[in-house]
């Protein structure tokens, strides 16, 4: 893995390469080179109605990078101690989220597309959907 990625914390912004010419921009993401894991899954949220909220859970093991491919939205992350709101509005960077972080998403603009790169395939067992349980599990890791 690229050494620069070893000390990333949840909420850190990862800038992707941008190749610009008269035809427009091209960005790319390589697992282990630009983000600190091999990409096992990509999924995306789109046609999100105004006022909708997504997330509201944490993961035991999953790492993710969240990218605003189009439009904008807010990502709220909470490690059980600190909570921060991050506004995403460009596709040339992503926000890293480690395991054991509660996340919520809201304030989606019309036509926004949220792409998520994930370190593992989908597993319902990896989700913690109860906030009190998340706090208990997070304490165990300290």
Catalytic residues: 57
Options 16, 35, 37, 45; binder of ligand T46; rule CB under 6 A: 45
CB of 79 to ligand T46, least distance (A): 14
- By CB under 6 A, is residue 43 in contact with ligand T46? yes
Task: Establish if 122 lies at the interface with ligand T46 (CB under 6 A).
Answer: yes
**Binder to ligand T46 among 76, 116, 120, 137 (CB under 6 A)?**
116
The residue among 18 and 42 lying less far from ligand T46, judged by its C-beta, is 42
Site for ligand T46 in 3-32 (CB under 6 A): none
Cα 25 to chain centroid, rounded? 22
Distance CA 16, CA 14 (A): 6
How many residues bind to ligand T46 according to rule CB under 6 A?
10
With contact defined as beta carbons under 8 Å apart, do 44 and 66 qualify? no
Residue 126 has φ and ψ, to the nearest 5°, of -85, -5
Q: Which two tokens stand for residue 62?
A: 């999953």
Tell me how far apart the alpha carbons of residues 13 and 76 are, in angstroms, rounded to a whole number: 14
Instruction: Specify whether the backbone of 80 is left (phi greater than 0), alpha (psi in -120 to 50) or beta.
Output: left
Residue 44 as a binder of ligand T46 (CB under 6 A): the answer is no
Q: Can you give the binding site for ligand T46, defined by CB under 6 A? A: 41, 43, 45, 54-55, 64, 103, 105, 116, 122
């Amino acid at each position: 893995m690229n050494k620069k990625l070893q000390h990333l914390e949840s909420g850190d912004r990862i800038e992707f390469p941008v190749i610009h010419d008269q035809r427009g921009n091209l960005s790319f993401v390589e697992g282990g080179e630009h983000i600190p894991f091999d990409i096992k899954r990509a999924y995306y949220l789109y046609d999100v109605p105004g006022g909708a909220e997504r997330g509201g859970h944490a993961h035991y093991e999953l790492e993710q990078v969240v990218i605003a491919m189009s439009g904008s939205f807010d990502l709220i992350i909470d490690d059980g101690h600190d909570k921060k709101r991050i506004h995403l509005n460009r596709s040339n960077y992503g926000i890293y989220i480690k395991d054991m972080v509660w996340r919520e998403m809201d304030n989606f603009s019309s036509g926004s597309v949220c792409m998520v790169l994930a370190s593992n395939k989908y597993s319902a067992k990896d989700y913690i959907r109860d906030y009190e349980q998340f706090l208990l599990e997070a304490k165990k890791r300290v």
